[in-house]
Amino acid sequence: MTTLDQPVVEIDHDKLMAFVFRAIEEVGASLNCALVVMGDRLGYYRSLAEHGPTTAAELAERTGTDEHYTREWLNGQAAGAFVGYDPATGRYTLPPEHAVALTDETSPAFLPGLFQTAHGTIQSTGTIIEAARTGDGLGWHEHTADVHVGCERFFRPGYIANLVSAWLPSLDGVVAKLEAGARVADIGCGHGASTILMAAAFPKSRFLAADYHRSSIEVARARAEEAGVADRIDFEVVPADAFSGKDFDLVTMFDCLHDMGDPVGAARHVREAIADDGTWMVVEPVAGDRIEDNLNPVGRVYYGFSTLLCTPSSLAQDVGTALGTQAGPARIKDVVVTGGFTGFRIAAQTPLNNVLEIRP
């Protein structure tokens, strides 16, 4: 059938314009990613949270910035309902609930790290477009530091809220081992937030913190020193299928298995390194096993990161399995069973994570 033979499709003008305005909203949301990073770095949100209703001139003076920028930034935040605006007084207000999400780095609702990660990820879009033509990847280490720092800032509050109080207790018999003194390997540890939290909570246990990214390990080592737990943590710059040690009581991987080029190879190495009665805890982004299960706001964010960050990271490594950020429990189970494990269950969940208990 030629183009001339194609049936004529009538366009619903109202639907077209509805989509156009939705797309305009999307552009505003994209630009707001950078505006949130700006507000976080310049202290705008913290100043608004501390001082209450504020004019653009007052915000500029308090933060040592230019009023032209604060005015436009505030108006953009008001248009997006991140802050409120009172036309009678010309003052802008950050609602207390928004203040928690935008300023409290200990809250699991803290968001600037997520925006920072997205901002850093988007900066590599040109490279990813070319990689999509060739099938090449882009390594984690090749991204801007906003990706590395932002990820830790985003994930750490969730770990603070859940790891010791909920996730570890959801695993059969693990807390008792940790309290008595266990051998633990935290693989793909990044800046060490998860390792440091466990080391602080369980002083009788010994920890290995491993990551292939040397810069992240350097940060993790410094953070452990600051936290006073460096004496019980060994650090290694090594990929997930090559960390040292045997007979670990607990192996952990937080939000990183899907990024690996050879997750099955990593699983096989964990099986070799774990004790026969040990536990492998894998924390992965929350996902269902079917595409339609993930067609929601959280899935949309994760598919975006999968396209621009996680899948390229996997393709940049040997094997290049590219599980994707929304792999789902069934695909993760296939990986670990192929790697030699037999026990698998979802031990806990949050709105953003699946916590998986895996046994030999």
Residue 10 is classified by DSSP as: P
pLDDT at 243 over 80: yes
Strand runs labelled E in 26-109: 84-86, 91-93
Residue type, 306: S
Express as a percent the part of the chain with pLDDT over 70.
98
* Mean pLDDT computed over 228-233: 98
SS3 244: coil
Torsion of CA 298, 72, 39, 32, to 10 degrees: 20
Tally of CA atoms within 13 A in the half-sphere of 76 that contains its CB: 20
Instruction: Give the pLDDT of residue 4.
Output: 57
Instruction: Give residues with Cβ within 8 angstroms of 223, minimum separation 6.
Output: 191, 192, 193, 196
Answer for the pair 346, 288: CB distance below 8 angstroms, yes or no.
no
CATH code 3.40.50.150 region(s) in the chain: 118-359
Helix 13-41 vs helix 44-51: crossing angle, to nearest 10: 80
Whole-angstrom Cα Rg for the chain:
23
Q: Residue 345 corresponds to which tokens in the numbers above?
A: 């269950």
276 three-state secondary structure: strand
Across 210-233, average pLDDT: 97
Does residue 304 carry a pLDDT above 90? yes
Model pTM? Answer: 0.92
Res. 110: pLDDT tops 60:
yes
Round to whole Å and give the CA distance between 231 and 167: 24
| For range 198-208, the mean pLDDT | 98
Cβ burial, residue 48 (10 Å; 0-12/13-18/19+) = buried
Per-residue confidence (pLDDT) for residue 206, from 0 to 100: 98
Mean pLDDT confidence for 93-122: 97
Domain boundaries for CATH 1.10.10.10 within the chain? 13-103
Task: Indicate whether 83 pLDDT > 90.
Answer: yes
Would you state the pLDDT for residue 9? 86
Q: Which percentage of the chain shows pLDDT scores above 90? A: 97
Total number of residues shown for the chain: 360
Per-residue pLDDT tens for 130-175? 999 999 999 999 999 999 999 999 999 999 999 999 999 999 999 9
Cβ neighbour number for residue 312 with a 10 Å cutoff: 26
Residue 3 has pLDDT above 70, yes or no: no
Q: Higher confidence at residue 168 or residue 5?
A: 168
Q: Residue 1 has what pLDDT?
A: 44
pLDDT reading at 231 higher than 80: yes
CATH topology (fold) of 13-103: Arc Repressor Mutant, subunit A (1.10.10)
Fold designation for 118-359: Rossmann fold (3.40.50)
| Averaged confidence pLDDT in the chain | 96
Question: Contact 281/358 with Cβ under 8 angstroms?
Answer: yes
Per-residue pLDDT reduced to its tens digit, 84-101: 999 999 999 999 999 999
